[in-house]
Structure 1
């Protein structure tokens, strides 16, 4: 009984000490870290705004490779989220709470039962690239804030943020180095007629939609004996990172306009367009679009939707992805 009494006195003493220390300890932790990334503002923003990229540059994933990440829908832009579990990293959920392309975005992290924290990203064009700043803010409830007197919490977060920015810089700059190798041409895009299946889909499920719908359009064109004017295409009318969706069509170009029940007929008039010939897997097309977006901005040009991807190579007959040719066309608005 005496031992219990002594133990109770010790516990009460520690609680009292924490209460006193909590009065003098800081309750907030706020910091920011920055680096200059040698890449266009849009490219840096686009990478951070796409949660699918985070595992490849996250400092916490690097420290805990066994971390299991479950991506939510959407996975890009405001409202995008993912959750994680890991022996070292615990459990939690992160969400993009706002996104203003290409200048800034904010995120909130919930550490399941252990509080939360907010972060803010800003992207500012500077000489030599994009000034990228990652800021952190959290509030410790009283009296638990007393622990800040004994732990270098701010230093630990700063170290993680510095490493994350270093990894992000490596990834984006590697992507930016590949972009200048692309030859962007201004060409005359002739009149095009397409038979297509068009719908708005989640960007994350786009591959499955194309794999399902492209054969359907091909079979319909073949079954109707319609003369083709090229290889299968993807048409992109919108690309909304805020909702993680795209209004797109899986299409076959025809020699002349034709209607068919269950399919949409799409006509694209003769006009000027930017063209890039991309050799490689379809996974590399994101860098192509980012490069063209940057070119449009620099040259003061405006794209006229839809953007066209023409998949020239028969991937079944050619297993070597380095030989796959995709022609990417950006029709141009009001260009003579």
Structure 2
């Protein structure tokens, strides 16, 4: 009987610790990755600014090849968008909301019930190429979203690295 009581107290303590810890997790979350690409900034920018071309290097397209992608009427620049639905990637919409040629792109991501976020692209010219920085930022809309925010880096970081590596390979061809 003492063993069961000890186990129950331990489980209750873990649940309370989990619930209290959530209050101390940040509301804002994000991640950032940068890669040097030895290609002209116009070519690299175009591969990101064109939503159809972005499918060539998208890490999620490779992970969920059965996902259905539907493009909006505009394919590049402000207002360009696509919607995806897949067995692994779920569903969502990406829309380019800001596009400064060869410098900066801002994407709005809508994951439906899973929330919204922003992705940013910065293109910094370097000798014989360009540094490309891809970042992701969101805000926890609920208590449990804070736990997602704490796990963004380990979950999405490798995907960002894979996507940037593919972008580099395609741009440098």
CA deviation profile, 1:92-125 (whole Å, cap 9, x unmatched): 1000010000111100111121101111101111
- In the aligned structure 2, how far is the partner of 1:145 from the partner of 1:68? 27
**Higher RCO (Cα < 8 Å, 6 or more apart):** 2
Secondary structure of the residue that 2:172 maps to in structure 1?
A: helix
CA deviation profile, 1:163-210 (whole Å, cap 9, x unmatched): 000011111111xxxxxxxxxxxxxxxxxxxxxxxxxxxxxxxxxxxx
Question: Which residues of structure 2 form unaligned runs of 5+?
Answer: 1-10
Show the counterpart of 1:180: none
Secondary structure of the residue that 2:47 maps to in structure 1?
A: helix
- In the aligned structure 2, how far is the partner of 1:168 from the partner of 1:146? 30
Show the counterpart of 1:34: 34
Q: Which structure: larger Rg?
A: 1
Secondary structure of the residue that 1:70 maps to in structure 2?
A: strand
User: How many residues end up aligned between the 2 structures?
Assistant: 162
C-alpha displacement at 1:79, in angstroms?
A: 0.6
- In the aligned structure 2, how far is the partner of 1:112 from the partner of 1:148? 15
Q: Does 1:80 align with 2:84?
A: no
Show the counterpart of 1:169: 168
Show the counterpart of 1:52: 52
Calculate the TM-score normalised by the size of structure 1. Answer: 0.45
C-alpha displacement at 1:21, in angstroms?
A: 2.3
CA deviation profile, 1:257-300 (whole Å, cap 9, x unmatched): xxxxxxxxxxxxxxxxxxxxxxxxxxxxxxxxxxxxxxxxxxxx
- In the aligned structure 2, how far is the partner of 1:127 from the partner of 1:79? 32
C-alpha displacement at 1:22, in angstroms?
A: 2.1
Calculate the TM-score normalised by the size of structure 2. Answer: 0.86
- In the aligned structure 1, how far is the partner of 2:20 from the partner of 2:80? 41
Question: Which residues of structure 1 form unaligned runs of 5+?
Answer: 1-9, 175-336
Show the counterpart of 1:119: 119
Moved over 3 A (4+): 16-19
Question: Once superposed, what is the RMSD of the aligned Cα atoms?
Answer: 2.1
